[in-house]
Amino acid sequence: MNTQYIGFIGGGNMASSLIGGLVSNGYPADKITVSDLNTDKLSYLSNTFGINTTQDSSALAASVDVLVLAVKPQNMQKVAEGASAAAKEKRPVLVSIAAGIRVDALDRWFGGALPIVRCMPNTPALVKTGATGLYANAQVSEPQKDLVESLLRAVGVTVWVKEEAELDAVTALSGSGPAYFFLMMEALEMAGIEAGLDQKTAQLLTQETALGAAKMALESSESAGVLRQRVTSPGGTTERALGVMEERGLKATFREAVLAAKERSIELSDELGS
């Protein structure tokens, strides 16, 4: 990544994770600045990562090449309009990690014609194993896309989508996805306890099994379906368990859940961008 000046408006968990990933990958801390009204957050970030801090978002927007908007969606309009004049003059690439705020709303609030990348990260980014979908408007140059991709790759994998509407599907799949897996882990742990294990053992086995299955899928060139078939011996315990899941409509449940999450993502974008 070229050592451009990067600014963050908002110093919460996701911003902290991105900053930590950048610094641990060797990005110069003196080229990173965070703006936040919470002085405790600023002190923590400065002491932990050695970065610059400020409470003046407008001044920050006027001094950086990349401006990461890491505030709550309901606060985005106020923040954007407050920094719009400075951003129009400096023209940094705007990177929004706020869920549900569409590019057209950001463009309107910032005064128009600025390069904007909208991102949908997920919470595993906090432990540098995130998955982020990205969409760029027409004003974003290829070097700026490379810069933003490098920024988000500091906390996991990135995937560009061609149409902004695809981010609603990204939200439904990977944005909300960690909760789906936590629910499955919770259910497996409870079932293990009912089957005779103590809570600590059931929890450990569940966590390591989830980790191992994910690692096998990542390192294999085969699909999840093929991997499932390989661990399912005819007439064995796994086949019987999967038979119960098929009977109860597990795949259909996941399909309906993801589509429901996508529909809600669209609704929230309509509400937040009005």
Domains of the chain, residue spans: 6-167, 177-268
1 has a pLDDT exceeding 70: no
Give the per-residue pLDDT at 268: 92
- Please, which residues bridge with residue 91 across strands? none
Distance from C-alpha of 139 to C-alpha of 183, rounded to nearest angstrom? 40
Note the pLDDT tens digit of each residue in 125-152: 989 999 999 999 999 999 999 999 999 9
- What are the residues whose beta carbons fall under 8 Å from the beta carbon of 121, sequence distance 6 or more? 14, 97, 130, 131, 132, 152, 155, 156, 175
Give the per-residue pLDDT at 2: 53
Tokens standing for 16? Answer: 């902290």
Give the per-residue pLDDT at 167: 97
Average pLDDT, the chain: 95
- Beta strands 130-136 and 32-35: pairing type? unpaired
Mean pLDDT of 206-232: 97
Q: Tell me, which fold does domain 177-268 have in CATH?
A: ProC C-terminal domain-like fold (1.10.3730)
Residue type at 196? G
Angle subtended at Cα 154 by Cα 149 and Cα 156, rounded to the nearest 5 degrees: 85
Return the residue matching tokens 């595993």: 124
Note the pLDDT tens digit of each residue in 17-73: 999 999 998 999 999 999 999 999 999 999 999 999 999 999 999 999 999 999 999
CATH architecture observed for domain 6-167: 3-Layer(aba) Sandwich (3.40)
Tokens standing for 121? Answer: 């990260």
Beta strands in 70-214, from DSSP E residues, in sequence order? 93-96, 116-120, 130-136, 156-160
Comparing 108 with 2, the larger pLDDT belongs to 108
